[in-house]
Chain A
Amino acid sequence: MTIRVTFWSYFAELAGCSETGVELPEGATVGALLQRVYVDHPALAGLRRSTLVAVGVEYQDDTHVLSPGDRVSLFPPVQGG
């Protein structure tokens, strides 16, 4: 399955793009997706501990199982206000 990944804020600059597609086996988790993302975009790897992950519009952790068609967002800590 192909998972669309969007990078927000300065993560887009570090990744060199605002969006990418990642091919993963069925049943893959957010953690597996992140491992692939960090191989393809190593500048983000050092920020893993502060990276926030959303699937659709909900926050998810590494154990969340992805489904075909999911849209994943990766971003740094938020700064509204």
Chain B
Amino acid sequence: MNRSLLITTDPIDEAKLIAGRSLSAGMGAVVAFSGVVREREGDGAIAALDYTCFVPMAEHQFHRLFDRLAGRGTVESVRLVHRIGRVAVGEASLWVEVVSAHRAEAFEACQWLIDEMKRVVPIWKQAVPVTPTDPPAPAGSVPATAPSDPHPPA
């Protein structure tokens, strides 16, 4: 199974990632997920989320999850980018792509990977409240890719 992992403070360039996609002729499903920072966290309006990460352990735990995906024998490739540092409302904090022969395997693997990430990968977020000087989030700034629910209520 091909794998790619990037933990970065740089903005996630989804167009560039899609342009770099590679899949063999036997693959019929590509599932790509973007997790985007919402304008509200809990009951409050926020301007951004600050992500911190224990990077060596995060990389190790991500690769352990990739190993488990590879063990299924149904996923040809997985690519994952997690942004850390300050991520403004409307910007992506996570991008995941899974390629497999059939859609059921690709959707399930993508969902599983994100669920497990939220359980074992040491990344934390802290809300940055909106202040009176912050401009409002631009309308339509949240991409329409679905599903897109990276921060479910606790």
Q: Show the binding face of A for B, using Cβ within 8 Å.
A: 6, 8-10, 52, 54, 56-59, 73, 75-76, 78-81
Contact = CB atoms under 8 A, between A and B. Distances in A.
A8 B118 contact: no
Given A73-B122, A81-B93, A81-B150, A57 B52 contact: no
B117 A81 contact: yes
B60 A57 contact: yes
A6 B52 CA distance: 14
Interface of B: 35, 51-54, 56-58, 60-61, 82, 93-94, 114, 117-126, 150-151
Q: Which of A6, A8, A76 has the most CB of B within 10 A?
A: A8
Q: Which of A52, A73, A79 has the most CB of B within 10 A?
A: A79
A68 B150 CA distance: 39
Contacts of A81: 35, 82, 93-94, 114, 117-118, 123, 150-151
